Amino acid sequence: MKPLQNWFDEYAISHQNKTNQTIHLICVPAIYFSIIGLFMSINSTFLQKNIGLSNPLIENWGTLILIPILAFYLRLSFKTFLRMFLFSALCILGNYYLGKQVPLLYASLIIFAIAWVGQFYGHHIEGKKPSFFKDLQFLLIGPPWVFKKMFK
């Protein structure tokens, strides 16, 4: 596996424009949040019956899908893992409470669509294709890259 800095350096090549970077600071976390919401929208009856989970915050596909994703971040660096673990926990809580107010599936789809429109607009301004066209793993590099930019 490539070192984290190599991923960031390669990701940064198609993220030089300040407007595109600003759009990414908003849209990348929104996409991550919405994907967790989409997975949390999946009926958890299977999990309840076959695995015996009964806590509403962990009895969903959103939490389960995070296990391999967080393992990927842990392989990159412990600091990245911690940041993404905390953000993921906030996403689970945020989606849990969002789902109490509105249908989570529809809210997640709207957030997802708007954020991707923003992302592609940012890359239109940049004049370069999104990195994930080269390697799908860049879909997982975007969030820690954004947090690195935020906490620089």
Residue 35 lies in a domain: yes
C-alpha span between 143 and 152 (Å, rounded): 14
Band of residue 110 on the pLDDT scale cut at 50, 70, 90: very high
Residue 131 lies in a domain: yes
Residue 109 lies in a domain: yes
Residue 9 lies in a domain: no
Helices (H), the chain: 4-13, 18-40, 45-46, 61-76, 78-101, 104-126, 138-150
Report pTM. 0.86
Q: For residue 122, is pLDDT > 60?
A: yes
Structure tokens at 118: 């923003």
Domain count, the chain: 1
Residue 10 lies in a domain: no
Residue 45 lies in a domain: yes
Residue 12 lies in a domain: no
pLDDT in tens, 46-64: 555 555 555 555 567 888 8
Structural domain containing residue 118 = 22-150
Q: How far is CA 109 from CA 5, 31, 34, 102, in A?
A: 32, 10, 7, 12
* CB contact at 8 A, 53 and 59: yes
Residue 103 lies in a domain: yes
C-alpha span between 35 and 91 (Å, rounded): 10
What number of other Cβ atoms are within 10 A of residue 151's Cβ? 7
